[in-house]
Amino acid sequence: MSAVLLDTVGLLALWDEADQWHQDAEAAFSTLLNGDSVLFTTTYILLECGNAAARRPYRLEADGLRSEFERAGALIRPDESDWMTAWKGYVRGEADRAGIVDQVSFAVMRRLGIQAAFTNDRHFRAAGFGVLF
């Protein structure tokens, strides 16, 4: 069984049929659902998704994912160590100058031993993680 972090880029591509990565995201997500992966995301990623979905028709999908992941115990709340590690990486410009939410994701993934992300965001690859589409 492998753990996978659902990233903002992947989730938005999955929900938005007009997204350039929609078909790739759908195929990768289908593979995840049919495999033995355990899916996680963070509160920070859901905040990014909520902001992006605020004026989109997939607002309810973002909230549905939040509810489902909270019930399943799969919604990760970054801790103080993740927060500090992320800011250090952000200031140093690690992972090809990734943003702060990505840096938090990297810290969480390292802490939990998660090796892959449902995304095609180049920053995850630059940080040494596998991307799924």
Q: What is the per-residue pLDDT across 22-49, written as a single tens digit (0 to 9) for each?
A: 999 999 999 999 999 999 999 999 999 9
9-21 pLDDT tens trace: 999 999 999 999 9
What mean pLDDT do residues 116-126 have?
A: 98
Q: How many domains does the chain have?
A: 1
Domain of residue 83 covers 3-131
What mean pLDDT do residues 73-83 have?
A: 98
Q: What whole-number distance in Å separates Cα of residue 106 and Cα of residue 128?
A: 9
Q: Which residues contact 88 (CB under 8 A, 6 or more apart)?
A: none
Q: Is the pLDDT of residue 1 over 90?
A: no
Q: What whole-number distance in Å separates Cα of residue 48 and Cα of residue 126?
A: 21
* Whole-prediction pTM: 0.96
Q: Which CATH number covers residue 58?
A: 3.40.50.1010
